[in-house]
A and B are shown apart, each in its own frame.
Chain A
Amino acid sequence: MTTPVSVIEVLGPGCARCHETFRVVRHVVEEAHIECLVQKSESLERMADLGVLSTPALAFDGKVVLSGRIPKSEEVRRLLGLP
């Protein structure tokens, strides 16, 4: 299945909340069999570049769609435009 998103970034300094977010996102992507790259970024520069003030944050193709909380998988699906 395809979505308009090709790169999903999970941004966070590497704490438990960020790992949990990464796990949720990867699970959704694998379950829906979509072809996109899921990356974890711990770079402060990258967070600041994207305007992220609170982590964990999610960015689709360089655009922040969520920040400061761990999303539920339904929310990630909705953000990705999945049914």
Chain B
Amino acid sequence: MTTGAVDRDDGAVPAAETTAGWLSGRGWALGAVALVWVGLYVAIRPVADWLSYRALGLARGSHVGEAVAFFFYDVPKILLLLAGMIFVITVLRSFFSPERARRLLSGRREGLGNVLASALGIVTPFCSCSAVPLFIGFVESGIPLGVTFSFLVAAPLINEVALVLLFGMFGWKVAALYVASGSVIAMLTGLLIGRLGLERYVEDFVWQRQFKGSAEDAATLSWENRVALGRGAVRDILAKVWAYVVVGIAVGAAIHGYVPTDALAGYMGRDAPWWSVPAVVLMAVPLYSNAAGMAPILQALVEKGAALGTALAFMMAVVGVSLPETILLRRVLKPPLLVLFIGVLALAIIVTGYLFNLVL
């Protein structure tokens, strides 16, 4: 997130007008923020230990001491990770837009188109309220139905907040598996829907439309805009999720040791009956929560003996299949296609759950 700018502004060029001028003007401020961020991140462990063992005088190795130190370490760590990574992700994402995705996808055939659409679905900034205009816009410009679905599945399924939290709580391997399985689900869902030839289950008015051209492209954003977007996203997301994170970690720290770690093993663990994965996914489909609310719950479930695949399947189903989006999509999809869409998505998540339980 730092910039390579070396030259200070010499007063000749208005700083905000050109990219180079902007970078030399504000790049320094960004660099300073990045340094402070790294300093804070490095300081969390010693400060958490000092607070718990010195300031509060709790004994090292004691149950309470460990729980309190864990809380003081984990809360700032997760919040800092969220702030830093959401900023970087939002600025990077500002180089992509649905308009650009449409341009890249139009004229693609199925197969390669599905692969590209899932990748673009992950990186393109997208609000689920835009699902319907996006669907119409993609289809009217000739993008195959299956390719459009790959995009529509990938976008909500792989959520940036969930990604950061998984990375912070379980490490990079789980985070990478989350992205990989999400992309595969998006690709396969789109391929299957494309193969089945379900065009007749899209509302007729969509096919009667004529493609009339594209609107503004986000590529014209200035650096000032991009950084402002990043800052706005960090502020919005932290404001929305800090309470979940604090409560989630506090509950996790508090029940640590009190609730037996295998409390859930019989229902959601590795040796649970085969139907436990489909059961949690079915339970999760009607639920909708933001990813930030889910990740601490996921950690608590795993802590108490749930297998990671089962828990991850639960989270993906809660985050990726949302009732509000489904209701909006009904305006362009006839019921059979809508039901099939949810069904295939749920099935794919169930398969991922089994796969993770086998692999991890």
Tell me the A residues contacting B by CB distance below 8 Å.
12-15, 17-18, 44-45, 47-55, 57, 64-70, 72, 75
* Contact residue among A48, A67, A72 (Cβ-Cβ distance under 8 Å from B136): A48
Those of B166-222 within 8 Å (CB) of chain A: 205, 209, 212-216, 218
Tell me which residues across on chain B come within 8 A of A48, comparing CB atoms. 133, 136-137, 140, 209
Interface residues on B, range: 20 to 34
Query: Are the CB atoms of B97 and A68 closer together than 8 Å?
Result: yes
Name B128's closest neighbour in chain A (CB-CB). Answer: A15
B132 near A13 with CB under 8 A, answer yes
Return the chain B residue nearest A11 by Cβ: B133
The docked-state distance in angstroms from the alpha carbon of A48 to that of B331 is 13
> Nearest B residue to A58 by beta-carbon distance?
B216
Chain B residues touching A, majority SS: helix
Give Cα A47 to B218, complex, Å: 17
Cβ of A52 and Cβ of B140 under 8 Å apart?
no
Q: Which residues of A contact B332 (CB under 8 A)?
A: 44
CB interface residues, B 111-143, toward A, < 8 Å: 125-127, 129-130, 132-134, 136-138, 140
17 contacts between A and B (CB under 8 A): A13-B129, A13-B130, A13-B132, A13-B133, A44-B132, A44-B133, A44-B136, A45-B205, A48-B133, A48-B209, A51-B212, A54-B125, A67-B97, A67-B216, A68-B130, A70-B232, A72-B228
Q: What residues of A have a CB within 8 angstroms of the CB of B209 in the complex? A: 48
Across-interface contacts of A68 in B (CB, < 8 A) = 97-98, 125, 127, 130, 218
Q: Is the CB of A44 within 8 A of B331?
A: yes
State whether A54 and B133 are in contact (beta carbons under 8 Å apart), knowing that A44-B331, A48-B209, A69-B229 are contacts in the complex: yes
CA–CA, A68 and B232, complex, Å: 14
Is A17 a contact of B129 with CB atoms below 8 Å? yes
Distance A55 CA – B213 CA, assembled complex (angstroms):
17
Interface centre among B130, B205, B212, B228 (most CB of A within 10 A): B130
User: Which residue of chain B has the shortest Cβ distance to A49 in the bound complex?
Assistant: B212
Q: A53-B97, A69-B229 are in contact. List 13 more A-B contacts (CB 8 A).
A: A13-B129, A13-B132, A17-B127, A44-B133, A48-B209, A49-B212, A52-B215, A53-B99, A53-B130, A53-B138, A55-B127, A67-B99, A75-B225
Q: For the complex, give the distance between the alpha carbons of A62 and B104 in Å.
A: 25
Question: With A54-B130, A68-B130 known to touch, is A13 a contact of B328 (CB < 8 Å)?
Answer: yes
Bound: A72/B222 CA distance, A: 14
User: In whole angstroms, how far apart are the Cα atoms of A69 and B332 in the complex?
Assistant: 23
Set of chain A residues within 8 Å of B214, measured between Cβ atoms: 51, 53
Per the bound structure, the CA–CA distance linking A15 and B332 in Å amounts to 18
Give the 9 A-B CB pairs with smallest separation, nearest first.
Answer: A64-B215, A53-B98, A15-B129, A51-B215, A53-B137, A54-B130, A47-B133, A48-B136, A54-B98
